[in-house]
């Protein structure tokens, strides 16, 4: 983990101006688009000291969660790091924290709001930090799909399963129709449960996690899976195909993990003899087939931690995490699977200026960027989350 050192003279640090969004200019930084107030410049040399000061003022009133894909400059201020599921549980386990500052993306902050008490406030440092995968399944699209299944007379046999990486609306839809949430760690258990309850699954919103789990872990065939395209009438599927399918996969994907190719795997094997390829199940099926191991973010971290010194690994997941793994395990070779840069652009929206801005605002008594889920949506979504926690 890199450590930033504040070398600026105290007088210079104190005199640097804060730019009101849209009125100042800072050519060295890209400005966030959604902060209603004053955002420090990324080039402000006093940023780290300001963050430390605001963090100290907030003390136990705030708890900072940092997703594994966050930048080093943000992760260093996290009280705990984890994947989306671990962080949601960590948020729920901190009833004493008045503010839960979620350094991650929007759907994660929604889950945290649903799992914390009404008196706690969940803060997302940049409201523009969404998730392209979650955005690929909107509530109206999913409702339309379900109406199609009802018209075909098969909705009663379909159990919805939604990945954690979905909006609160989609989790609520899932809860309302007797389904469950899943993570990349428990997708197999969720699908086993769903296929005991019904004969088909509507898997939202990541087609790759659904396909990889069904085919590689449960022994279903690719022919048992169809892909519902929300942009085409009837999902682009014939009625017969929907009736025959066991897995109805939503046409959604992660824009980060979806970039890896089987050619990347072949190229790294040619470049690094003996390398083992470790990828996330959000990768496309061909990549997972070509890899040596597949696992959730937490599993990827644990595999690298436990790997013997001298071993070589090409990791197919978000670049911030792969770089940190390489930095913290210098006795092993850890490389990024792709040759080109592959950050999650929305995760990267949370940077130190945004974190400083929310902490200083909260310390000054102004609540900013609070994420709330309405009571009815939260109750229905919690039914699907509770079902996940009760999975056998
Ligand atoms: S890595 Fe993929 S799934 Fe995760 S937040 Fe980014 S776009 Fe969404």
pLDDT single digits (tens) 164-222: 999 999 999 999 999 999 999 899 999 999 999 999 999 999 999 999 999 999 999 99
pLDDT greater than 90 at residue 44: no
Residue found by looking up tokens 């800072």 in the block? 26
Six token digits for residue 163:
């990945």
Six token digits for residue 180:
């469950």
Which tens digit of pLDDT belongs to each residue from 265-277? 999 999 999 999 9
358 lines ligand 1 (CB under 6 A): no
Give 193's contacts (C-beta < 8 A, 6+ positions apart). 180, 391, 392
254 lines ligand 1 (CB under 6 A): yes
Phi, psi of 163 (to 5 degrees): -65, 150
pLDDT greater than 80 at residue 156: yes
Ligand 1 atom at minimum distance from 257 CA: 2
Please name every residue paired with 64 in a beta bridge, in sequence order, or none if there are none: 101
Assign 3 a pLDDT band (cuts: 50, 70, 90).
very low
In the chain, what percentage of residues exceed pLDDT 70?
Answer: 90
Which tens digit of pLDDT belongs to each residue from 58-78? 999 999 999 999 999 999 999
Note the pLDDT of residue 28. Answer: 36
Closest C-alpha to 164, from 194, 138, 145, 184: 184
pLDDT greater than 80 at residue 361: yes
Polymer length of the chain: 392
User: Closest Cα to atom 6, ligand 1: which residue?
Assistant: 344
Q: Measured in angstroms, how far is the CA atom of residue 317 from the centroid of ligand 1? A: 10
Mode of pairing for the β-strands spanning 121-123 and 370-371: antiparallel
Q: pTM of the full predicted structure?
A: 0.87
DSSP state of 16: P
206 lines ligand 1 (CB under 6 A): no
Residue found by looking up tokens 């609540």 in the block? 367
Assign 41 a pLDDT band (cuts: 50, 70, 90).
confident
DSSP state of 140: H
Which tens digit of pLDDT belongs to each residue from 84-111? 888 988 998 999 999 999 999 999 999 9
133 lines ligand 1 (CB under 6 A): yes
Assign 341 a pLDDT band (cuts: 50, 70, 90).
low
Note the pLDDT of residue 4. Answer: 33
Distance from C-alpha of 159 to C-alpha of 208, rounded to nearest angstrom: 18
Assign 37 a pLDDT band (cuts: 50, 70, 90).
low
pLDDT greater than 90 at residue 316: yes
Note the pLDDT of residue 340. Answer: 77
**How many C-beta atoms surround the C-beta of residue 119 within 10 A?**
7
Q: Where are the alpha helices (DSSP H) in 262-366?
A: 262-271, 285-290, 297-306, 319-328, 352-363
3-state secondary structure of 371: strand
Q: Measured in angstroms, how far is the CA atom of residue 310 from the centroid of ligand 1? A: 31
* Backbone conformation region of residue 316, classed left if phi is above 0, alpha if psi is from -120 to 50, else beta: beta
DSSP state of 116: S
Question: What string of H, E and C letters represents the secondary structure of 124-164?
Answer: CCCCCCCCHHHHCCCHHHHHHHHHHHHHCCCHHHEEEEEEC
Note the pLDDT of residue 360. Answer: 96
Strand ranges of the sheet holding 62-67, from the earlier edge strand across to the other edge:
80-82, 62-67, 99-103, 121-123, 370-371
378, 131, 320, 332 alpha-carbon torsion, rounded to 10° = 80
Six token digits for residue 82:
């984890």
Which tens digit of pLDDT belongs to each residue from 11-29? 333 333 333 333 333 333 3
Distance from C-alpha of 65 to C-alpha of 48, rounded to nearest angstrom: 18
Note the pLDDT of residue 288. Answer: 98
Distance from C-alpha of 116 to C-alpha of 118, rounded to nearest angstrom: 7
Distance from C-alpha of 10 to C-alpha of 280, rounded to nearest angstrom: 45
319 lines ligand 1 (CB under 6 A): no
Pair 247, 201: CB distance under 8 Å: yes
Pair 214, 237: CB distance under 8 Å: no
Assign 1 a pLDDT band (cuts: 50, 70, 90).
very low
Q: Measured in angstroms, how far is the CA atom of residue 209 from the centroid of ligand 1? A: 13
Strand positions, DSSP E, 3-103: 19-20, 38-39, 62-67, 80-82, 99-103
Average pLDDT taken over every residue of the chain: 90
Higher pLDDT, 321 or 21: 321
pLDDT greater than 80 at residue 131: yes
């Amino acid at each position: 983990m890199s450590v930033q050192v504040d070398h600026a003279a105290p007088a210079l640090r104190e005199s640097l101006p804060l730019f009101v969004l849209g009125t100042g200019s800072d050519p060295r930084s890209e400005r966030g688009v959604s902060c209603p107030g004053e955002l420090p410049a990324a080039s402000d040399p006093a940023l780290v000291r300001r963050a430390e000061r605001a963090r100290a003022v907030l003390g136990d009133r705030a708890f900072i969660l940092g997703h594994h894909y966050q930048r080093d400059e943000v992760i260093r201020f996290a009280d705990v790091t984890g994947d989306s599921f671990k962080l949601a549980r960590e948020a729920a386990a901190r009833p004493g924290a008045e503010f839960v500052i979620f350094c991650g993306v929007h759907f994660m902050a929604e889950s945290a709001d649903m799992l914390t008490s009404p008196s706690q406030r969940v803060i997302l440092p940049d409201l523009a930090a969404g998730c392209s995968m979650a955005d690929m399944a909107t509530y109206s699209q999913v409702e339309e799909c379900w109406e199609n299944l009802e018209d075909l007379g098969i909705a009663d046999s379909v159990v919805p399963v939604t990945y954690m990486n979905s909006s609160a609306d989609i989790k609520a839809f899932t809860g309302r129709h007797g389904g469950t949430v899943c993570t990349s760690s428990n997708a197999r258990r969720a699908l086993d449960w769903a296929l005991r309850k019904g004969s088909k699954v509507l898997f939202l919103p990541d087609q790759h996690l659904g396909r990889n789990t069904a085919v590689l872990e449960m022994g279903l065939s690719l022919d048992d899976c169809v892909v519902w395209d929300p942009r085409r009438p009837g999902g682009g599927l014939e009625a017969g195909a929907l009736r025959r399918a066991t897995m109805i996969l939503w046409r959604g994907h992660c824009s980060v993990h979806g970039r890896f190719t089987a050619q990347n795997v072949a190229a790294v094997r040619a470049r690094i003899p003996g390398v083992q390829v470790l990828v996330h199940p959000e990768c496309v099926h061909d990549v997972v087939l070509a890899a040596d191991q597949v696992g959730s973010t937490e599993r990827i971290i644990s595999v690298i931690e436990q790997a013997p010194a001298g071993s070589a690994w090409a990791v197919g997941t978000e670049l911030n995490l792969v770089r940190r793994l390489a930095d913290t395990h210098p006795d092993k070779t850890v490389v990024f699977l792709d040759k080109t840069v592959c950050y999650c652009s929305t995760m990267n929206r949370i940077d130190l200026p945004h974190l400083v801005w929310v902490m200083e605002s909260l310390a000054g008594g102004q609540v900013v960027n609070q994420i709330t889920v309405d009571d009815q949506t939260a109750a229905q979504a919690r039914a699907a989350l509770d079902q996940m926690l009760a999975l056998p």
